[in-house]
A and B are shown apart, each in its own frame.
Chain A
Amino acid sequence: MKPAPFDYVAASSVDEAVALLANHGDDAKLIAGGQSLIPMLNFRLLQPDMLIDIGNIPDLQSISEATDSLLVGATVCHHMLLTSPLVRKHFPILCHAVSHVAHIAIRNRGTIGGSLSHADPAAELPMMMVLLDAELEIAGPTGSRSIDANTFFVGALTTVLEPDEMVVRIRLPFLPAGSGWEFQEVARRSGDFALAGAASILTATDGTVNTARVAVLGVDETPLRILAAEDALRGNAFDEAAVAQAARSVQEAVEPKSDLHGSADYRRHLIGVLTGRVLRSAWRRATGDDR
């Protein structure tokens, strides 16, 4: 349970980190909080020749407000997301979701960029980025590019990032006024990876659903937006029939796997129940006093 030998360099800027990646490519790994990477090193599932530490690059550690969006640096840790007044003001759903990430000591170290790059299909932040229509700013040897979170995740622990690229910033477009939201997950124990989780953001006009977003985690190879469920809700009255239809759309869209903790059938059942719960709660926030 000790890592295999590697070289270590602490990068002092994004340019330096990208240059090091360009030189070492596949043989190097970036490390920031290390809360996913170090377990894999300890188990020797990964044996990189070099670790490039981006945990002390000041540019990547801040949360700031632009005119239409919130900008979150890649090495902002979970605890900072959870306690940031800006995040609480614009994205209370994100605070709520992050409170489900592991435990205090992990949240003190683990970073948003690390969680997204690691791309665990049961992790909260990748799903939240998909739900929030986040844009990821990626730095690489030829400059920077921007990727929609919905095209960033391509499989379990797999993203479109090239070996010489890194996530530097996440742009979260502000939500429409009057958005109601909810996030819920079910895990065997507090802090464990969830068996399944769902989140929704709704806006209402005169008793009908104006805009709808639905996303799920833990029930497929990647976090997913469920467009069929969103289409079924949008423009229609919000009632139990609509909720049931949306939950069925989610159950039909996902391909959960069986493991030690739950069968595929159980997870499919669970995601239907969770979808109903988050929709009802998001609707209450969009229409009621508990906004």
Chain B
Amino acid sequence: MTEKKSVELSVNGRTYRRSIDPRILLSDFLREDLGLTGTHVGCEHGICGACTVLMNGASTRSCLCLALQADGADITTVEGLGDIDELDALQKKFREHHALQCGFCTPGMLMTITELISRDTDLSDDEIREALSGNLCRCTGYEHIVQATRAALDERRS
């Protein structure tokens, strides 16, 4: 057996300290150790984007990051955006524009777009599509996700 290591990180503004097996992925750490199941695990090899979280503000595939590599980091998951009674601005646009159907990809989409609109608000639809190309959605055909992103960008600019 390998030796457990200690990890301390902030998730959605709250500090957690745990002793973990080194092989634990950040995605599993969030879901199983911290009970934050909003981060979805799809392909587990960095293709689908469902597990995307923000690490120090930068989008990161949590299935391609060891929890130990997030030691000292500031993580934001979908639970850190808004909640069912008070959605954040982007989540509201997703609802208004019907940008989800089954919802499996939605946490990853939201985190990717959250980073995108924090970096730049002057984006063409082509640039939005390019930025979303790492997040797979099997329901919507993407049109409504692009529309919701466009609406969130427009609102942020005005």
Contacts and interface: CB of A to CB of B under 8 A. Distances in A.
Interface of A: 1-8, 10, 31, 34-35, 38-39, 41-43, 51, 53, 55, 79, 102-106, 108-109, 189-191
A82 B53 CA distance: 21
Interface in B98-117: 112, 115-116
B27 to A, nearest CB: 10
B15 interface: no
A5 B23 contact: yes
From DSSP, what is the main secondary structure of chain B's interface residues? Answer: mixed
Contact of B112 (A5, A7, A38, A104): A104
B65 A38 contact: yes
A280 to B, nearest CB: 24
Given A189-B133, A191-B134, A104 B115 contact: yes
B60 A108 contact: yes
Given A38-B46, A104-B112, A190-B133, A10 B61 contact: no
Interface stretch (B1-9, B78-86, B89-97, B139-147): B1-9
Given A108-B58, A109-B64, A2 B46 contact: no
B68 A10 contact: yes
A3 B23 contact: yes
A7 B3 contact: yes
Closest 7 CB pairs of A and B: A103-B134, A8-B22, A1-B44, A39-B45, A105-B59, A190-B133, A108-B58
B21 interface: yes
A34 B134 contact: no
B151 interface: no
B66 interface: yes
A11 B45 CA distance: 25
Contacts of A1: 44-45
Interface in B40-82: 44-46, 49, 52, 55, 58-61, 63-66, 68-69, 71
